[in-house]
Amino acid sequence: MADTDTGAIPPKPLGKKELVADIDRTRADLARTIDAIAERVSPRRNIDRAMEEVRQNVDRSLGEARQNLGRIDPVIAGAVAAAVAIGITALFLLRRRRR
């Protein structure tokens, strides 16, 4: 046979007011839980959350790109611009000679 006597004092039965208050607390907790679940599974809210995440990622990427622009060495940028200008000029002159 199992011994059910643990030596603990059984809880005092709740009165009507305490029982009603406990039910009201449980009902409020349940309502908050249901609202939270509805918020999580709402298609509109999921779209809004996804769009906000995309906006934040774009903003962060643009910020990083702006920071990187300031890091470009002006000498290298000038050399690249000169190389492009020389290449375009050479192509222009070669096409002109063929005519």
Q: Which alpha helices (H) appear in the chain, and where do they start and end?
A: 16-41, 43-69, 74-98
Tokens encoding 28: 């409020």
Model pTM score? 0.39
Q: What is the pLDDT of residue 32?
A: 96
pLDDT at 4: 61
pLDDT band at 34 (very low <50, low <70, confident <90, very high): very high
Q: What is the pLDDT of residues 40-55, one digit of tens each?
A: 888 888 888 899 999 9
Angstrom distance (rounded) from CA 63 to CA 57 = 10
